[in-house]
Structure 1
Amino acid sequence: MELISVVIPVYNGAKTIRETIESILQQTYSHFEVIVINSDSTDRTLEIVSSIQDQRIKIHNYPKANVAINRNRGLTHAGGEFISFLDADDLWKPDKLELQYKALKENPQTGVAYSWTDAIDEQGKFFRPCSHAIWKGDVYAKLLLDDFIGSGSNAMIRSDTFVEVGNFDETLTNAEDTDMWLRLAARYHFIFVPKVQVFYRISANSKSSNISGLEVSNLKIIEKSFANADAALHYLKPYRVANLYKYLSYKALSVTPGKQNTIQATRILLQTVMTDITILGKPIIYKSFLKLLILTILTPSQATLLLNKFPQISNISTFFGYIKTH
């Protein structure tokens, strides 16, 4: 069997790191190494990881840095023919490594395998479907429109592809995985496993909750990607920007009452309209402004009661239905 390297960057992940590592140790494909990049954690992360008795786990301690830097640090220690990354709060189904490895072996022309992803909440309970894409082969144009991989914890990558595309962009504090998928898709074919195997945890403190950071990093990636893309694909750029703001609108309003940033959410919603005027013909945009109004004028407890009573107002996942994917 060929070795698979699993890289886990972690900073203060004591609440979830044991469960995350256990989801690796339960894999049906057993010939792997777990490379934990501990980024100067100040909680019990190091103690917890050190207590897990498995010789396949290797811990490396580094000064605090962003995820891109820590993933690159992990790559310097990886000895496997295949690489997978797993965030310290995400989980895998037991057959994740086996089926992605099989997909790559059966499709030697491909460089990346991905699976379907569902989102879970802070308690590990199902939250919503995240990404159930079925794109394969040359997926570059699809990825220019939308990051359908769904999570940095998803893909399995042939290790030699990094020689061609380079490592993660360390200037990006968010969406560094989106940038990597695009660079890989520009050179290699992708294959998918039609099964939910990745659970992406959504929490108030997760990196994906940083709306401003997501916006800045994604706009930078969009500019860079389309600057490098064939001119025939440039017509996709306005659709990609519109997709971004629909996603950010969902993120900005999927918050606990009292935690919203009203000015930011208003700006993001207006940008959604400006980048796709057709959204004015859809109920979702008016429901979103109504939800924002409720979050703004009512107390957190009042808003919670009202939104729980009328869940059709609270749920704004319809935004995903208007993201252009082809």
Structure 2
Amino acid sequence: MNANSTHTHDAPCVSVVMPVYNVEAYVAEAIQSVLAQTFTDFELIIVDDGGSDASLEICRSFRDPRISIVSQRNRGLAGARNTGIAAARGEYVALLDSDDRWLPEKLMLHVIHLDNAPAIGVSYAPSRFIDSAGQALRIVQRPRLKDVEAVDIFCRNPVGNGSAPVLRRTALDTVTFAHPDDWARRCWFDESLRQSEDIEMWLRLSLLGGVRFEGIAPVLTEYRIGCGGLSAQILRQYEAWQGVVARMARYAPDFAARHTPRARAYQLRYLARRAIQLGDAGMAMALLRGAAASSIRPLLDEPVKSLTTLAAAMAGRMMGPDRFARFAGRAAGGQLVA
């Protein structure tokens, strides 16, 4: 296949959807990473989500006919993605958060994958973590790539983050619904969620849409994480995850009942690793206790990662909060997140 061949004469092959909200420090890098793609048959839809900084001016400074900007009042990440998807004309829809970056070959390799695997609805690839300065951290997300089932999505979310997937438009449309407060607007992501909207969407695609997920091996996304934050964010993330489970239990009650204890244990272990990154060893220990009470499957399935997390949390308790916070911010930022 010619990597730059067009699928139709009047529409791009790929629509890149990029929500933008108060990301003036990063948005230029994100746009540049799209414009640097070796695959060129795309449109970039920037959704201005009502921010107050200079992000929009930075976006407007790029003069490329493939870029369009849609402005709206603030609706959050899910709402901005929905607006972008509604405007998308491509056969494939690629999502990119405006603080992340792509490697130049990303679109080309995903288009080749989807063109040659018509049964696959979502193509994704591993991600490298970068810090707030754009420097590579010491971990790469290497998720399951083949034979992905709904339980794998629920427990381990192989897609990893919202900048990793390229989706077939027909797959997306299997789970579209009318906005509950505005029936004229179509939704794909659930706008009532301000966190965990990604995993909620992937679960709906798999369980209700029957959409197949498959990854490709190269590392193609650079996913930015902050080294600062508040432990309260972890609690809000867990609450959002519980909201996802409650929604899923309404349309897939048997699946939820069978797999939620294991998935909760994985989620709590992930959040414990986030707490370690933030330097809160006490919260990490509490989360690990909750994980163990829910299911021992993460320990059985991934003993090294589970025991490493426990050892780090115990070391933090012995060091004391101030010393451990300094250690975590310096050494654990990229290593203990996934």
TM-score with structure 2 setting the length:
0.82
Question: Are the equivalent residues in 2 in contact too, given 1:134–1:194 (CA < 8 A)?
Answer: no
- Describe the superposition over 1:271-303 as per-residue Cα deviations: whole angstroms up to 9, x where unpaired: 23322468699464243033145352x4xxx55
Counterpart mapping for 1:119-198 below 5 A: 119-166=129-176, 167-186=188-207, 187-198=210-221
Partner of 2:73: 63
For residue 181 of structure 1, give the secondary structure of its aligned residue in structure 2: helix
1:175 maps to amino acid: S
For residue 64 of structure 2, give the secondary structure of its aligned residue in structure 1: coil
Question: Are the equivalent residues in 1 in contact too, given 2:276–2:336 (CA < 8 A)?
Answer: no
- Describe the superposition over 1:119-167 as per-residue Cα deviations: whole angstroms up to 9, x where unpaired: 1111111113342223335522211221111110111111122321121
For residue 312 of structure 2, give the secondary structure of its aligned residue in structure 1: helix
1:68 maps to amino acid: A
Question: Are the equivalent residues in 2 in contact too, given 1:144–1:225 (CA < 8 A)?
Answer: no
Question: Are the equivalent residues in 2 in contact too, given 1:174–1:207 (CA < 8 A)?
Answer: no
For residue 195 of structure 1, give the secondary structure of its aligned residue in structure 2: coil
Match of 1:200 among 223, 226, 240: 223
Q: Identify unmatched segments of 5+ residues in structure 2.
A: 1-5, 177-187
For residue 49 of structure 1, give the secondary structure of its aligned residue in structure 2: helix
Could you say if the C-alpha distance between residues 289 and 37 of structure 1 is closer, same or farther in structure 2, counting changes exceeding 3 Å? same
For residues 116 and 316 of structure 1, the distance between their equivalents in structure 2, rounded to whole angstroms, comes to 15
Q: CA deviation at 1:70?
A: 0.8
Counterpart mapping for 1:104-119 below 5 A: 104-119=114-129
Partner of 2:44: 34
1:84 maps to amino acid: A
Partner of 1:274: 293
For residue 174 of structure 1, give the secondary structure of its aligned residue in structure 2: coil
Question: Are the equivalent residues in 1 in contact too, given 2:272–2:287 (CA < 8 A)?
Answer: yes
For residues 35 and 232 of structure 1, the distance between their equivalents in structure 2, rounded to whole angstroms, comes to 36
Question: Are the equivalent residues in 1 in contact too, given 2:162–2:198 (CA < 8 A)?
Answer: yes
Partner of 1:23: 33
Worse-superposed segment, 158-167 or 284-293: 284-293
Could you say if the C-alpha distance between residues 130 and 315 of structure 1 is closer, same or farther in structure 2, counting changes exceeding 3 Å? same
Could you say if the C-alpha distance between residues 303 and 116 of structure 1 is closer, same or farther in structure 2, counting changes exceeding 3 Å? closer
- Describe the superposition over 1:3-55 as per-residue Cα deviations: whole angstroms up to 9, x where unpaired: 21111111111101001000000111101111111112211111111111111
Could you say if the C-alpha distance between residues 308 and 24 of structure 1 is closer, same or farther in structure 2, counting changes exceeding 3 Å? closer
For residue 247 of structure 1, give the secondary structure of its aligned residue in structure 2: helix
Partner of 1:323: none
For residues 98 and 308 of structure 1, the distance between their equivalents in structure 2, rounded to whole angstroms, comes to 36
> Is residue 76 of structure 2 the alignment partner of residue 51 of structure 1?
no
For residue 194 of structure 1, give the secondary structure of its aligned residue in structure 2: coil
Partner of 2:268: 245
> Is residue 123 of structure 2 the alignment partner of residue 102 of structure 1?
no
Could you say if the C-alpha distance between residues 168 and 292 of structure 1 is closer, same or farther in structure 2, counting changes exceeding 3 Å? farther
> Is residue 19 of structure 2 the alignment partner of residue 9 of structure 1?
yes
For residue 157 of structure 1, give the secondary structure of its aligned residue in structure 2: strand
Partner of 1:285: 310
Q: CA deviation at 1:184?
A: 1.6
- Describe the superposition over 1:210-233 as per-residue Cα deviations: whole angstroms up to 9, x where unpaired: 312210111121233355337367
For residues 31 and 273 of structure 1, the distance between their equivalents in structure 2, rounded to whole angstroms, comes to 48
For residues 73 and 238 of structure 2, the distance between their equivalents in structure 1, rounded to whole angstroms, comes to 26
Question: Are the equivalent residues in 1 in contact too, given 2:128–2:140 (CA < 8 A)?
Answer: yes
For residues 334 and 222 of structure 2, the distance between their equivalents in structure 1, rounded to whole angstroms, comes to 21
Could you say if the C-alpha distance between residues 110 and 230 of structure 1 is closer, same or farther in structure 2, counting changes exceeding 3 Å? farther
For residue 136 of structure 1, give the secondary structure of its aligned residue in structure 2: coil
Q: CA deviation at 1:203?
A: 1.1
Worse-superposed segment, 100-109 or 268-277: 268-277
Matched-pair identity in %: 27
Q: CA deviation at 1:308?
A: 8.9
Question: Are the equivalent residues in 1 in contact too, given 2:159–2:165 (CA < 8 A)?
Answer: yes
Report the number of matched residues: 309
For residues 15 and 162 of structure 2, the distance between their equivalents in structure 1, rounded to whole angstroms, comes to 15
